[in-house]
Amino acid sequence: MRVVELSNHPGQMLSEIRGRRQTAEQQERSRYERATARHQARVERARRARDQARARHQWLSWLRLALAVRRERRQAPRPPAQRAPGSTTDREEILAAGLAGEELVATGLNGKLDDEWTLIRGYRNRRGEIDHVLLGPRGVVAMEVKYRNATVRCDGDDWRFDKYDNYGNLVEQGQLADGRGRSPSVQLNEPADALEDLLGSRGYRVPVQRVVLFTHPRSRIGSCRRATVHVATSPDYVLDLIGGAAPSLTAGQLSAMRHLIERDHRSRGGARKS
Cα–chain-centroid distance for residue 182?
Answer: 17
pLDDT at 128: 94
Say whether pLDDT at 121 is over 80: yes
* 51: Cα separation from own chain's centroid: 60
What pTM was estimated for this model as a whole? 0.70
**pLDDT tens sequence across 9-66:** 666 665 666 667 677 778 888 888 888 999 999 999 999 999 999 999 999 999 999 9
CA distance 4 to 264: 14
Q: What's the mean pLDDT in 58-85?
A: 86
Confidence of residue 2 (pLDDT cuts 50, 70, 90): very high
Residue 239 has pLDDT above 90, yes or no: yes
Mean pLDDT for 161-187 is 92
Q: What pLDDT is recorded for position 96?
A: 58
CB 11 within 8 A of CB 98: no
Closest by Cα among 143, 154, 130 to 104: 143
Contact predicate 214/144, CB 8 Å: no
Q: What's the pLDDT at 271?
A: 45
